Structure 1
């Protein structure tokens, strides 16, 4: 069963402040910096913790990929003159047997906040290891969690969920934990997020005169594949659709028995043009305090 959900929220309407945990594998790609910069600049969102995530399973991974992400999280905060709680997450995927959880500061922060609140929203830009470990250790918190995540491919016509893209492969077991939990899930599939491809020349022309824009462009050019002329800013679409729900269309899907056999909300469409326009306007208006 699939049900399309309509939204009436206006992008210019004042929004109440929402508290979130952000979980990011910032060292993995260029798009994390853009996504994090956008949500750091958002007055309607309070970030109660910024967790670093590993991408250790990738054949491109650097040693201690989580630590690399943690360092870059703090570097971006420093560039923007911001102060947030930053926590180290798992160093690698969940274990195969025994105590499968990865015990980390990020995992225990999720548990702590979930126990203190009626509801906890977590935006996950990489592997689900930190969130899944928290649920594995304290299963009762799952029903309090609203998890927004980028990953998988959803064939909406046939209701087939594929898990062969980067984020699921960084921790397949963690995804199983989430799919089979009571956590409410909002998933941005990569076959939808692919619409976020942008040319470097366009991004440079619109952002290079701003101090933060220049910093983000440097991240593009200094990355290990910095010569690329275009990229898909995957994570920016998830962050933007969370901030402004009318930037995306959610479709509720009853998943198959081997994928949780439950209702999950998937983004089936996005407005990439609106997302980029919002990003440019927000960036150019940003000043350090």
Structure 2
């Protein structure tokens, strides 16, 4: 009987050790997965996109590239005004807001805030044009740190971001602004602000350029104009696939360009806004240099993209879109 009891005790000890080891292994696996998840979350770029989405076609494609992207922690999409367009109504920001909401609805995503931006440009370089969008930028900037800045991409007018800075300058050290606008000659470092985005709030553009410690990078129209999608490719990838795919095709087909008589059948479209999103997601697709700001602005250095690999950017866009369709 004693031997049987000893055997029972031995079996119990062995079982306990195996059980303990098993649980330790499970704990180890859980901790490893947790650490990987935490690392991935930390490496994702905390991002807000400020978009004049109703202005054209490429804005919609840019937002789709950023949504559910593994490179970004997309916190919000703020709507921007574009009052200088000949097609503009008296509430362009509301038009942008509606399309932002529709894109989110079609992609069935959650936890992306959609604050409404200002409907008018700045009237004074010292006075902000407050809005839920500028308040949201301020709030998220204060949740960031100097070592892990909030990234804000501006696809249209600079009104909302400039207003956030003017309202609360303490956020300057916690944000990195990526602006799509103006023309630039890198050889002569000459600027031309007579460009659509810049023209929708020239004062706001100058606020960004004149803010000494603001971390600012620019995807100029000069560089982004080289990223062109064809209607043939868009149709082959999207047409007839429903949801967001059909929505993008319909936008292309129903929006009529007012600024050029070239390509009347709209067989091609410059994807200005996609270029800046791709550049942020894949800096290896780009080349950039530091330049002095325009002579009329506070003299300081900013970063400007001088080259983009358009083939890699387009291929990456379609690869991401494929993942959206498979969700």
State the superposition RMSD in angstroms: 1.8
1:144 CA drift (Å): 2.0
Q: Give the whole-Å Cα distance in 2 for the aligned partners of 1:142 and 1:288.
A: 39
1:177 to 207, 218, 228: 207
In 1, the alpha carbon distance for the partners of 2:81 and 2:325 equals: 31
2:50–2:155 CA contact under 8 A, matched in 1: yes
Q: Is the 8 A contact 1:198 1:232 kept in 2?
A: yes
1:114 is aligned to 2:144: no
Q: How does 1:47-86 map to 2 (within 5 A)?
A: 47-83=74-110, 84-86=112-114
Query: Does 2:178 correspond to 1:140?
Result: no
Q: Paired residue for 2:196? A: 166
What residue is the counterpart of 1:3 in the other structure? none
Using the size of structure 2 for normalisation, the TM-score is 0.80
How far off its partner does 1:116 sit? 2.8
Structure 1 residues without counterparts, runs of 5 or longer = 1-13
TM-score (normalizing by structure 1): 0.90
Once residues 17 and 117 of structure 1 are traced to their aligned partners in structure 2, the CA distance between those partners, rounded to angstroms, is 13
Residue of structure 2 in register with 1:228 after alignment: 266
- What CA deviation, in whole Å up to 9, does each residue of 1:193-226 have, x standing for no partner? 1101222122212332543332211111121349
**SS in structure 1 opposite 2:53?**
coil
| Aligned equivalent of 2:250, options 218, 229, 246 | 218
- The alpha carbon displacement at 1:63 in A equals 2.8
* Equivalent in the alignment of 2:305: 267
The structure with the greater share of residues assigned to strand is 1
In structure 2, the gaps of 5 or more residues are 1-39, 258-263
| Structure having the higher Rg | 2
Give the total of aligned pairs.
275
* Deviation string, structure 1 residues 57-101 (Cα, Å, up to 9, x no partner): 32221231000100100001111111221100010101147x631
Which of these residues, 222, 237, 259, is aligned with residue 206 of structure 1? 237
Higher fraction of helix: 2
The alpha-carbon deviation at position 276 of structure 1 amounts to: 0.7
CA distance in 2 between partners of 1:44 and 1:243 (Å): 6
Counterpart among 111, 115, 134 of residue 87 in structure 1:
115
Question: After TM superposition, where is structure 1 displaced by more than 6 Å over at least 4 residues in a row?
Answer: none
Change (3 A) 1:87 1:278: same
Cα deviation, residue 227, structure 1: 4.3
Partner Cα separation in structure 2 for residue 258 and residue 274 of structure 1: 36
Alignment of 1:34 with 2:64, yes or no, is no
Q: 2:225 and 2:219 mapped to 1: Cα distance?
A: 10
- Note the C-alpha offset of 1:110: 1.1
In the other structure, the counterpart of 2:8 is: none
In the TM superposition, residue 102 of structure 1 has moved relative to its aligned partner by 0.7
Q: What secondary structure is seen at the aligned counterpart in 1 of 2:56?
A: coil
Is the contact between residue 80 and residue 288 of structure 1 (CA under 8 Å) also seen in structure 2? Answer: no
C-alpha displacement at 1:280, in angstroms? 1.3
Contact kept, 8 Å, 1:57 with 1:92, in 2: the verdict is no
- After TM superposition, the structure 1 = structure 2 runs for residues 5-16 of structure 1, keeping only pairs within 5 Å, are 16=43
**What's 1:237 paired with?**
275
Equivalent position SS for 1:73: helix
Offset at residue 288 of structure 1 (A): 6.5
Greater RCO between the two (CA within 8 Å, min separation 6)? 1
